[in-house]
Amino acid sequence: MAYEAVKQLRGEAKERQVDGAEIALTHNVGGIGQYCFVNIYRR
């Protein structure tokens, strides 16, 4: 997920590119729901 978010912010996502992407958020839940990670990226 982080990989795709960074590709979007760099403008390198080709046909998946979101025009004007400035901020990206990734959310992951691990284990049996006991871990939650939220990352916010900005251009």
In this predicted model, what pLDDT tens digit does every residue of 4-38 receive, in sequence order? 999 999 999 999 999 999 999 999 999 888 999 99
pLDDT classification of 1: cutoffs 50, 70, 90? confident
Q: In angstroms, how far is CA 11 from the centroid of its own chain? A: 13
Cβ 31 vs Cβ 25: under 8 Å: no
Per-residue pLDDT for 42 more than 90? yes
Q: Give residue 8's pLDDT.
A: 97
Q: Domain extents for the chain? A: 2-42
Residue 31 gets the label, from left (phi > 0), alpha (psi -120 to 50) or beta, of left
The answer to whether the predicted template modeling score (pTM) of the entire model surpasses 0.75 is: yes
